[in-house]
Structure 1
Amino acid sequence: MKVTETLNEGLKRGYNIVVTAAEMDEKVNEKLLEAQPEVEMKGFRKGKVPMALLKKQFGDKVMGEAMQESIDGAMSKHFEESGDRPAMQPEIKMTNDDWKPGDDVDVSVSYEKLPEIPDVDLKKIKLEKMVVKAEDKDIDEALSNLAENAQNFDDRKKGSKSKDGDQVTIDFLGKVDGEAFEGGAAEDYPLVLGSNSFIPGFEAQLVGVKVGDDVEVKVDFPAEYQAEHLAGKAAVFECKIKAVKEPKAAEINDELAKQFGAEDLAALKAQVAERLEAEFGGASRAVLKRKLLDELDKLVKFELPPTLVEAEAGQIAHQLWHEENPDVQGHDHPEIETTDEHKGLAERRVRLGLLLAEMGRKNEIEVTDAEMTQAIMNQARQYPGQERQFFEFIQQNQQMQQQMRAPIFEDKVVDYVFELADVKEKEVKKADLEKAVEALEDDAS
């Protein structure tokens, strides 16, 4: 086997690999000899089929396998000896298109290698971490929100008309083409107007009704409605208004605390304070992480694989285009051109991504099976009733696993850097933290 370098320009590498016909023939014979004891063929005892007949019967198939194994072996040996790590999957092409058995195999290989990434003295990085304590007004605001969510409904004054947010108690009977349909009727049904729990347009027609009214609500079932026999159909619901109630926030007391699993109001306040400070801590970490990435971006410069930058710039441009054109859900749209701004963002992302990956590799930081399982379970909860199917889907999909593993790995590397960096805490107000978070969102990259 002969390997000849054809390109060495920056991070780009190219090689020509020639596997001689004799080498291929030897490898084919080895594979056939290995398989011979298990081969059965009419007219011969098991394991006694002549090599010439095996070669005639299975030679083409084995030749393809031998060719692939030879090329893979040559590439593995090359990467081991050179120390190169390809940034993306190498491009491998057979150059003698008119190849036939007995000819040498001529293959061209090209790739971009990962750059040499310099070490960073993490102890020299100085960062300031924002710390926010939950104040009484923050706790009171959170308690008010809990009370509102735990609201009750009291009857409105006799003759009062319903308002958005009220609860109306109704009997209803739904009909399509004048015929009642299964599941379209109920008695004493409590419906909160504005909750969007019914068909679009239904609740709005019950704003302004009063007890004793008989109302016809006319709606169209959505085209994608789960019941196919009703999808896209016009329907009329005959509604009898039996009660109109206005929302009333629950009182902030021990009873409210018990509704949320706390022993008393003092315990609930402690839980709320703990939850708020956990939220503040998460926001503070996001701000601190951005500061760290900014510092690393200033400290480290190295050559970037052009293909990685181009792919990332294209992805950024595509994502931003869809954000600006939210009505376009699919990919049936004009070609999206990348700009210098997209390229600049891409260079930063690729540089920082390669740097963090190298830090993780050198320090043997890995995502454990337990961490992956926990991440999958957390995401599976977003699909109630389908958790098992989601879990199995992820287990069978390597690409999805990598997408979930990547942010976990990045956060573990970032935490490692935080431990070594000079991080000073500074207590600030909630408004200061919110302002810093808004700045992150405005300058997302």
Structure 2
Amino acid sequence: MQVTETVSDGLKRELKVTVARPEIEEKVDARLQEMKQRANIKGFRPGKVPVEHLRRLYGRSIMTEVLQQTISETSQQALAERDERPAQQPQINLPEDSEGVENIISGEADLEYTMSFEVIPDMELADLSKLDLEKEVAEVDEEDVEKSVQQLLESSATYEPKDGAAEEGDQLKVDFVGKIDGEPFEGGSAEDISVVIGKNQFIPGFEEGLVGAKPGEERTVDVTFPEEYGAEHLAGKHAQFDVKVKEVGAPKLPEADDEFAKNMGFESMDKLREAIRDKLSKELEQASRTKLKRQLLDELEKAHDFELPGSLVEQEFNELWRQTTQQMERAGKSFEDMETTEEDERERNRKLAERRVRLGLVLAEIGQRNDIEVTDEEMKRAMMDQARQYPGQEKQVIEYFQQNPSALIELRGPIFEEKVVDYALAMANVTEKPVSKDELFNMPEEEAA
């Protein structure tokens, strides 16, 4: 194999690889000899089929397989010998003229191809031990624990019939017929539907329109469907619902005692409150880590300045732009509606793509230099976590990941990133700053964007 560098421009590389014809022929002959031992062809005893006969029957297909295998092996060998780290899978190009390709396949010419790629840039990693980070931390407020208890009580409420007017929190059983311009519309009618005023489970204005209603009453409720409503033919439309109230029930909450806790699966109210407190604590810790991670990534971006592989940036930009345009289409929004322009939005996506690529390369480099790896056990747990999201289809989900290397890569990525972030945070100087819950969950507008 002979390798010649034909392009070296910044991060761009192009190599011309030549594999001599005798080397290819040797591989083809080896494949034919292997085939001879197991070929079962009419008119010949097993293992006695002449090689030339096999060459006439299968020579072209074998040559194609050998060439594909040779290109795969020699391209990897060329990269290894030059200690090149491609940013993406190299692009392989055979001779453009059909005659040249035919000469290679027919064994009349050496195998020649070019491989084009961009390399991962050399970078000097920042000293993680010199990063100063501030971690916002908040304590669980007992008032929030009691609010959660109250929400559980309300969700377990029963309703007792009442003759008076419906109020906030009451449950009504109703029939309704929805109309637009006086005509009923598809999916707008129902019978014996339960509506709890204040739960906000219906179109805005519907529950409010039932306040004061009494059993047996009929009334018309005016509403306007949200602009982003799922059914396009209803989005933004004004409608009237003719409602017949059949029953009105007042909520009756259970007592916050040990009996209630046992019905919820806990030994006592103390144990229930302990579980709620633990859940709220984990939510606060997650919010704290999220803000700390964002701060770490900001500092890493500031500390590293190197040329980015254009192919990676373009790939990331295209994905971001696809998501942006799809979201706008689903919401029925234009750039003008969003008080921006296509040019400004493209520029914003371009900068975000560059940030993601830069940080991705930095995190990958930190992981590689510090032997950070995702273990088989971690991958198994991740697959099981994904499978549990599809009850009854767990086996199919596991098989999907096992049969799709690209899906496994996507599954591995976030695990690897979190492990590298954990390593970087352990190395950095992190000081804690006590804040309120509201401050912890508050995110500046520019960060949210």
TM-score norm. by structure 2 comes to 0.78
CA distance in structure 1 between the aligned counterparts of 2:22 and 2:72, rounded to whole angstroms: 18
Identity among equivalent positions (%) equals 41
| 1:83 matched residue in structure 2 | 83
SS at match of 1:325: helix
| 2:422 matched residue in structure 1 | 415
| 2:171 matched residue in structure 1 | 167
**One-letter identity of the residue aligned with 1:94:** L
Q: In terms of mean alpha carbon deviation, does 92-101 or 259-268 score higher?
A: 259-268
The CA deviation string for residues 369-428 of structure 1, in whole angstroms up to 9 with x for no partner, is: 332333333333433444443333333333222222211110111011111111112222
| 1:284 matched residue in structure 2 | 288
Aligned with residue 345 of structure 1, among 345, 352, 371:
352
Aligned with residue 143 of structure 1, among 135, 144, 149:
149
CA distance in structure 2 between the aligned counterparts of 1:163 and 1:376, rounded to whole angstroms: 48
1:51 equivalent in alignment to 2:51: yes
Q: What are structure 2's unaligned runs of at least 5 residues?
A: 177-189, 220-229, 232-242, 334-341
| 1:363 matched residue in structure 2 | 370
SS at match of 2:286: helix
SS at match of 2:76: helix
CA distance in structure 2 between the aligned counterparts of 1:70 and 1:383, rounded to whole angstroms: 42
**One-letter identity of the residue aligned with 1:149:** S
CA distance in structure 1 between the aligned counterparts of 2:441 and 2:248, rounded to whole angstroms: 40
Per-residue deviation at 1:196?
9.4
SS at match of 1:62: helix
Aligned length, in residue pairs: 404
SS at match of 2:117: strand
SS at match of 1:443: helix
1:118 equivalent in alignment to 2:124: yes
Describe the shift of the 1:142–1:30 C-alpha distance in structure 2 as closer, same or farther (beyond 3 A).
Answer: same
| 1:397 matched residue in structure 2 | 404
CA distance in structure 2 between the aligned counterparts of 1:3 and 1:74, rounded to whole angstroms: 9
CA distance in structure 1 between the aligned counterparts of 2:202 and 2:388, rounded to whole angstroms: 24
1:191 equivalent in alignment to 2:170: no
CA distance in structure 2 between the aligned counterparts of 1:125 and 1:16, rounded to whole angstroms: 44
| 1:234 matched residue in structure 2 | none
- CA-atom RMSD, angstroms? 3.7
CA distance in structure 2 between the aligned counterparts of 1:56 and 1:328, rounded to whole angstroms: 62
Per-residue deviation at 1:16?
1.6
**One-letter identity of the residue aligned with 2:324:** L
Residue 322 of structure 1 contacts residue 328 of structure 1 at CA under 8 Å; is this kept in 2?
Answer: no
CA distance in structure 2 between the aligned counterparts of 1:164 and 1:32, rounded to whole angstroms: 83
The CA deviation string for residues 229-275 of structure 1, in whole angstroms up to 9 with x for no partner, is: xxxxxxxxx9993x421234444444443333333333333322222
CA distance in structure 2 between the aligned counterparts of 1:345 and 1:377, rounded to whole angstroms: 32
Aligned with residue 104 of structure 1, among 106, 110, 113:
110
CA distance in structure 2 between the aligned counterparts of 1:426 and 1:214, rounded to whole angstroms: 57
| 2:262 matched residue in structure 1 | 258
CA distance in structure 2 between the aligned counterparts of 1:275 and 1:404, rounded to whole angstroms: 26
1:128 equivalent in alignment to 2:134: yes
The CA deviation string for residues 296-349 of structure 1, in whole angstroms up to 9 with x for no partner, is: 1111222211100111122222222333332479xxxxxx87733222211111
**One-letter identity of the residue aligned with 1:406:** G
TM-score norm. by structure 1 comes to 0.79
Per-residue deviation at 1:368?
2.5
Per-residue deviation at 1:213?
7.3
CA distance in structure 2 between the aligned counterparts of 1:349 and 1:147, rounded to whole angstroms: 45
**One-letter identity of the residue aligned with 2:143:** K
1:12 equivalent in alignment to 2:15: no
**One-letter identity of the residue aligned with 2:98:** D
Q: In terms of mean alpha carbon deviation, does 301-310 or 266-275 score higher?
A: 266-275
Describe the shift of the 1:392–1:203 C-alpha distance in structure 2 as closer, same or farther (beyond 3 A).
Answer: farther
| 1:34 matched residue in structure 2 | 34
SS at match of 2:120: coil
| 1:228 matched residue in structure 2 | none
Q: In terms of mean alpha carbon deviation, does 79-88 or 283-292 score higher?
A: 79-88
CA distance in structure 2 between the aligned counterparts of 1:444 and 1:84, rounded to whole angstroms: 38
Per-residue deviation at 1:49?
1.2
CA distance in structure 2 between the aligned counterparts of 1:209 and 1:121, rounded to whole angstroms: 68
Residue 193 of structure 1 contacts residue 204 of structure 1 at CA under 8 Å; is this kept in 2?
Answer: no
CA distance in structure 1 between the aligned counterparts of 2:419 and 2:193, rounded to whole angstroms: 48
Aligned with residue 424 of structure 1, among 431, 439, 446:
431
Per-residue deviation at 1:208?
7.5
CA distance in structure 1 between the aligned counterparts of 2:175 and 2:128, rounded to whole angstroms: 68
CA distance in structure 2 between the aligned counterparts of 1:263 and 1:81, rounded to whole angstroms: 66
